[in-house]
Amino acid sequence: MFNKVSVVGLGYIGLPTAAVIASRGIEVIGLDVSQKAVDTINQGKVHIVEPDLDMVVQAAVTMGKLRASMTPEPADAFMIAVPTPFKDGNQPDLSYIEKAAKAIAPVLEKGNLVILESTSPVGATEKLAAWLQEYRPDLHFPGQGAAEPNVNVAHCPERVLPGRVLEELVSNDRIIGGLTPKCCDRAIQLYKHFVRGECIPTNARTAEMAKLTENSFRDVNIAFANELSIICDELKIDVWELIALANRHPRVNILRPGPGVGGHCIAVDPWFIVDSAPESARIIRTAREINDHKPEYVIGKVKAAADQFKRPVIACMGLAFKADIDDLRESPALDITLQLANANVGQILAVEPNIDCLPEKLQNKNIQLVSLPEALERANVLVVLVDHKPFKALSSNDINTKVVVDTRGLFSRF
Ligand code: SAJ
């Protein structure tokens, strides 16, 4: 029975997870280190942008099922959803997981279940069990000594797509990687409360690698598309037409080229595999390098376009890391805009319909945040960096007097 669940980390994954579990009638206590996040949630509001999340959080708080706090308290299960960024040299930084372990250890009890949801390098769940054992020598954790474990530990990686989190949280299949088969059984019991997809048991190491594999698969496929886009420029072929044609083959499914790969997942996770197996992870490393190089290539194209004008006015269309969100983390669009400004290529206009003011990084540069109509009025060079809905709605009449660098194929017929 799970009467009370504690969710550690109330960010893009933790908060929706906490709210959905609470909506199933289970008491949820959400833990976070940010007083502001805790206060916002306790008022029934949200501090992140995700469709419908505000409604679900408000309902759960109003029903008294969801509460946020900075102080850990006992619960039946603990779900850790904290960031796992990388440090210099592309090595995974597990310090947030270690801090979470330290925070919950004093309130753990026999029979508890501890789940790691954060995307993690292979071996992280074993490390989590070892940290917990260190902080609570009176309890028995799996893989730590000969005694029968009395706390269960599992890795159940999150797999939701930003922008569709609430839907995918419930409908996606879940990989349940227990440190022992009993850990798997307990974790499946918990997830069955709110997951409609299948809960598939495996061991923790395989679960860790499965999550990294999913994101690396996408990264490699996008790198293939990005490489094709550069080859096609050289050979004077429309890459969008090329990919559309190749994808007509029943066993070919090439993703779309872009200005580079952004976000905190696909641009980060493949490095965890490279770090674990540096000699063997060759295609995964190369894909990362190709995708990371793409912004530089785009900047070269924009400079060439700007050279055609005495007074170049460049509209960078989109700053987010992908369409129709406000998330600017690891965004190649933002990086390209910043580098164009730093290189004094011309007057830079940024068009980002999903934000109200420029991020700090872009302030005090030669960059103005403007509306789409103003950009179309003033710019002589358009750089399409994100395929936001309002940009997709433009017609060829809107752009035919401009020089266009289109990284998303918005104005391609294919
Ligand atoms: N991108 C392209 N071309 C494409 C598809 C995407 O250039 O054809 C770019 C996007 O513009 C963006 C980046 O890739 O900059 C990543 O976007 P995304 O939509 O592919 O993925 P994320 O980072 O929003 O979410 C991914 C998802 N993983 C997979 O689809 C395998 C999601 O399910 C994971 O839960 C999430 O990472 C995560 O948290 O790990």
> Ligand 1 center to residue 260 CA distance, Å?
11
Max Cα-Cα span within the chain: 77
Residues 152 and 220 in one domain: no
For the stretch 111-142, pLDDT in tens is: 999 999 999 999 999 999 999 999 999 999 99
**Residue 180 domain flag:** yes
Residue 332 domain boundaries: 213-406
pLDDT of residue 238: 97
pLDDT of residue 92: 95
Helix (H, G, I), strand (E, B) or coil at 198: coil
Segment 141-159 shows an average pLDDT of: 96
Segment 179-194 shows an average pLDDT of: 98
Strands 113-116, 152-155: pairing kind: parallel
Shortest-distance atom of ligand 1 to CA 322: 11
Residues 306 and 390 in one domain: yes
> Ligand 1 center to residue 391 CA distance, Å?
20
**Residue 205 domain flag:** no
> Ligand 1 center to residue 81 CA distance, Å?
19
b/e per residue 180-208 (b: at least 16 CB within 10 A)? beebbebbbebbeeebeeebebbbbbebb
> Ligand 1 center to residue 126 CA distance, Å?
27
pLDDT of residue 325: 85
Residues 100 and 223 in one domain: no
Segment 75-87 shows an average pLDDT of: 96
For the stretch 287-313, pLDDT in tens is: 999 999 999 999 999 999 999 999 999
Last residue of a domain, one of 165, 197, 229: 197
Residue nearest to atom 32 of ligand 1 (CA): 161
Task: For residue 25, give the CATH number of its domain.
Answer: 3.40.50.720
Mean pLDDT of all residues belonging to the chain:
96
pLDDT tier at 178 (50, 70, 90 boundaries)?
very high
Distance (Å) of CA 222 to CA 225, 227, 259, 261, 349: 5, 9, 11, 8, 28
Taking the C-alpha atoms of residue 202 and residue 200, their distance in angstroms, rounded to an integer, is 7
**Residue 83 domain flag:** yes
Candidates 175, 218, 324: which one to mutate for ligand 1, based on the most atoms within 8 Å of Cβ?
A: 218
Shortest-distance atom of ligand 1 to CA 163: 24
**Residue 412 domain flag:** no
Residues 18 and 135 in one domain: yes
DSSP state, 360?
A: G
**Residue 414 domain flag:** no
Residue nearest to atom 7 of ligand 1 (CA): 258
Residues 19 and 112 in one domain: yes
Residues 337 and 238 in one domain: yes
Shortest-distance atom of ligand 1 to CA 261: 15
Last residue of a domain, one of 142, 172, 197: 197
b/e per residue 357-394 (b: at least 16 CB within 10 A)? ebbeebeebebbbbebeebbeebbbbbbbbbbeebeeb
- 364, pLDDT greater than 90: no
Are 329 and 395 spatial neighbours (Cβ–Cβ below 8 Å)?
no
Residues 160 and 239 in one domain: no
Residue nearest to atom 40 of ligand 1 (CA): 265
The model's pTM is 0.95
Segment 348-373 shows an average pLDDT of: 95
Residues 80 and 177 in one domain: yes
Residues 153 and 59 in one domain: yes
pLDDT of residue 200: 98
Residues 17 and 70 in one domain: yes
**Residue 207 domain flag:** no
Of all residues in the chain, the percent with pLDDT exceeding 90 is 93
Residue 89 burial (CB count, 10 A): 7
Residues 247 and 113 in one domain: no
Shortest-distance atom of ligand 1 to CA 218: 31
Residues with Cβ < 8 Å from 144, sequence gap 6 or more?
129, 130, 133
Candidates 265, 294, 317, 408: which one to mutate for ligand 1, based on the most atoms within 8 Å of Cβ?
A: 265
> Ligand 1 center to residue 266 CA distance, Å?
6
Cα angle, residue 208 at apex, residues 274 and 281 outer, rounded to 5°:
20
Which stretch of DSSP H or E encloses residue 5?
strand 4-8
Residue entry with tokens 């974790």: 187
Segment 210-226 shows an average pLDDT of: 98
Residue 173 burial (CB count, 10 A): 12
Residues with CB under 6 A from ligand 1: 119, 158-162, 214-215, 218, 222, 255-256, 258, 261-263, 265-266, 321-322
Which candidate, 56, 55, 44, 6, places its Cα nearest to that of 27? 6
pLDDT of residue 163: 86
Residues 274 and 391 in one domain: yes
pLDDT of residue 50: 87
- 183, pLDDT greater than 90: yes
Shortest-distance atom of ligand 1 to CA 219: 14
**Residue 258 domain flag:** yes
Please give the tally of structural domains in the chain: 2
Rg of the chain on CA atoms, in Å: 23
Distance (Å) of CA 410 to CA 305, 323, 396: 18, 12, 10
Residue nearest to atom 25 of ligand 1 (CA): 161
> Ligand 1 center to residue 355 CA distance, Å?
20
Last residue of a domain, one of 168, 197, 226: 197
Known catalytic residues?
A: 211, 265
**Residue 299 domain flag:** yes
